[in-house]
Structure 1
Amino acid sequence: MGKGNKVEMLIAICAVITSAIAVFIAWDQGRVMRAQQHGSVYPVLQANGYTSTDPEVREIGVVFRNSGVGPALIESVDVFRGDEHVDSLISYRDALPPGYSLSWTSMVGRAIAPGETLDALRISWPVGQMSHAELDATAQEWGSLTMKICYCSVFKRCWNVEGLAQNSPAERVKSCERSEQDIFEGLSSVNQAQDDKNPELE
């Protein structure tokens, strides 16, 4: 092989190596950019139960908060007591001490903005109708529940997180399956239940 052929071969090898390096750099830059995009819209969802005793009202409830930097798109909210799935909160509602006021927010399909806090459930009593002992017992009963929420970012990266009775770090999952029903919407008949428990209001 002549010197000219050797030079051409060397140039060709260098060109292949240079092309391979360029492809790798472009792939790596794309990977970094994708990671930056995902990081810029990373949601961190929490669901916490609370109890409140101020001078005028006794209150328990559940709040959802997004502590991340991107919207949290809620796909499902499942409630458990131990290992048993709870299909409805009606029995818990019906066991509440009388005189309560209840409000709820549908969560499935909702987007929670970064830094936003939503009251998913709020149950309150005038201070004269609810003793501290009754409040503690009611909070303990509702606090025995665990909520498992599946939510996604705008780029369809999804997580499962547990809240209410137990709190755990979010766990990455491949996808979320949208719930057909919202556990909080099942409480929509509360006015009738309240009337049944308080016939003097009729």
Structure 2
Amino acid sequence: MNRSSARRPWHQHFETVGSITAIVVGVAALFVSFDQSRVMREEIRASIWPALQVDGFASLENGTLAIGLSVQNAGVGPALVERVTIRHDDSPVEDLDALRALMPPGADLSRTSLTGRVVAAGASVRPFELRYPAEESDDAIDVLNRLLSRWSAEVCYCSTLGQCWVASDDPGAPTMVDSCEGQPGGDF
């Protein structure tokens, strides 16, 4: 080794400056890559976010009063329904037979299973509908208001990425939860 090259300050050694520059550029590239992947994950989550809306309904058409539950996916991705909970006076209702027993007798029942179903973006499902012969005194809005005071419904569902939410018939956005397991639900 030449004595003159050993006495040069570190910044005059091209190899050392080049190595330090490469390390700094590599660390910066790693940070940018990590940040970009985080942003991409958020974009993917937002682009497939299901948003279920849960609503009770009552309608009066052609002498028939229809009462039931409607679940619509107003989001942009599919929703896998894991659990449906119906409550009457704050007590969970186990299944459709128990629900029917709590309603006035004489109804025709139509049913579509919701638990375990994938609800596509923009799709709507009516898990159950009870149809009664209407009386002249029936007003669908009054019937719905009376029912809403004693009944409530919530649906726990997940996205294709495994993120889960609970939507209820209360106004507002769905609430994010860790999972739908271990929470009460009925056979709906």
TM range (shorter): 0.7 to 0.9
Identity of aligned residues (%): 31
* 1:53 to 1:102, Cα distance in 2 relative to 1, 3 A: same
The alpha carbon displacement at 1:113 in A equals: 0.3
SS of alignment partner, residue 17 of structure 2: helix
Which structure has the highest helix share of the two?
1
Please tell me whether residue 149 in structure 1 is matched to residue 158 in structure 2: no
Does structure 2 retain, via aligned residues, the 8 Å contact 1:92–1:142? no
CA RMSD of aligned residues (A): 2.8
Cα distance in 2 for residues equivalent to 1:64 and 1:50: 10
Please tell me whether residue 173 in structure 1 is matched to residue 177 in structure 2: yes
- Which of the residues 62, 72, 77 maps onto 1:70? 77
Higher gyration radius (CA): 2
**Which whole-Å deviations, capped at 9, do the CAs of 1:22-72 have from their partners, x for residues lacking one?**
111111221122122111111000110011012331111100100000001
Length-normalised TM-score, structure 1: 0.76
Please tell me whether residue 80 in structure 1 is matched to residue 84 in structure 2: no
Question: Which letter does structure 1 place at the counterpart of 2:8?
Answer: K
- Unaligned ranges ≥5, structure 1: 185-202
**Which whole-Å deviations, capped at 9, do the CAs of 1:106-157 have from their partners, x for residues lacking one?**
11111100000111111112335x7417994586246522222211111111
Cα distance in 1 for residues equivalent to 2:186 and 2:98: 16
Cα distance in 2 for residues equivalent to 1:25 and 1:63: 45
* 1:93 to 1:178, Cα distance in 2 relative to 1, 3 A: same
Cα distance in 2 for residues equivalent to 1:150 and 1:4: 67
- Which of the residues 4, 8, 12 maps onto 1:3? 8
Please tell me whether residue 105 in structure 1 is matched to residue 107 in structure 2: no
Equivalence for 2:61 = 54
Length-normalised TM-score, structure 2: 0.81
Cα distance in 1 for residues equivalent to 2:58 and 2:45: 35
The alpha carbon displacement at 1:173 in A equals: 1.5
Does structure 2 retain, via aligned residues, the 8 Å contact 1:105–1:119? yes
The alpha carbon displacement at 1:5 in A equals: 4.0
The alpha carbon displacement at 1:10 in A equals: 2.5
Cα distance in 2 for residues equivalent to 1:122 and 1:44: 22
- Unaligned ranges ≥5, structure 2: 1-5
